[in-house]
Every structure is written in C-alpha cells, then in structure tokens.
Structure 1
Amino acid sequence: MDDIDRACEREQLDTAAAVEAARGHYASNWEVDSATECAGCGASIPEARRELIPGVQLCVECQSAAEAHARQFKKR
C-alpha cells in the first residue's frame, strides 16, 4: 500500500465519520423533513441521500462547498 492508497482510505474513513455525525446531529437535534430540492442551488436531492441523512437540506456539491468554506474559516 502506497501513500496514495493510504490517503484514499483515510478520506473514505473521514467521509464515513462525517456522514455518521450528520445523521446523529439531524436525528437528535432537529425534526426537519429532508428537502427534495437543494436549498443552495435548487438541484434535486436523491432519495438515497434523504434517507441516509434525515433533515438534509443541501445536495452533495453544496454540502461539500459549505464544509470547505467552514474549514477555510476555521483556519483563520
């Protein structure tokens, strides 16, 4: 296993942890229905995503952008 393989594996583990954290956050703190359309761009949110993350309001792309923005903000 080389560095790229280890980085990919780490990314997968981090993503899985983030999904679990989001599930717990939305399930325990908010009783909001999952949106069928993204609050950020208006794109359709797939049923599988709505089932995996109760209360989801953003599509994958907008959620990724929001998380990247938050990481940049934390670095300051």
Structure 2
Amino acid sequence: MSDIIDNASDLEELQRNAALSLIRINRNAVSALHCMECEEEIPEARRKTIPGCQLCASCKQIDELRNKSGSRRS
C-alpha cells in the first residue's frame, strides 16, 4: 500500500513543479513593442510589468478565454 501512496505523492510533486515552472516569470525576457495579434503598441507599463509579453492586454484576455474554452487556434 505504501508504494501506491509514494507513487501518488511523486506524481503530485511532478505535476506541481510543472505547473509552477509554467507561471515563473523570466525578468530578462524582452517584450514586444507591438502586439503580435492586432499590431497596436503595447504600453510601457505592461511591458515592464510582464517581461516577455507579446500581446496587448485585450488580445491576451481573448487568448486566455480561447484557451479556457478549448477552442485554441492553430
């Protein structure tokens, strides 16, 4: 029985570490000056707050809704 619990614990730790690595922010990443979707200028405040951003706030919101609903573009 302890093998099953140990395996489950190991799997949970791997999943948690994978999820955390997805949300870590690379402070050295270079943000785009213009949105890759709508080509509008990305405000400096957003570029500083979210290093490496490639989308304006509006397009990012649409992208997140698309991903949440499962209708991701290819």
Could you state the TM-score of these two structures normalised by the residue count of structure 1?
0.58
Q: 2:68 aligns with which of 49, 66, 71?
A: 71
CA RMSD of aligned residues (A): 2.2
Stretches (4+) displaced over 2 A:
none
Equivalent residue, structure 1, for 2:7: none
Aligned-residue sequence identity (percent) comes to 36
Q: Could you say which structure has the higher helix fraction?
A: 1
* Structure 1: gaps (5+ residues): 1-20
* Structure 2: gaps (5+ residues): 1-21
Structure ID, larger Rg? 2
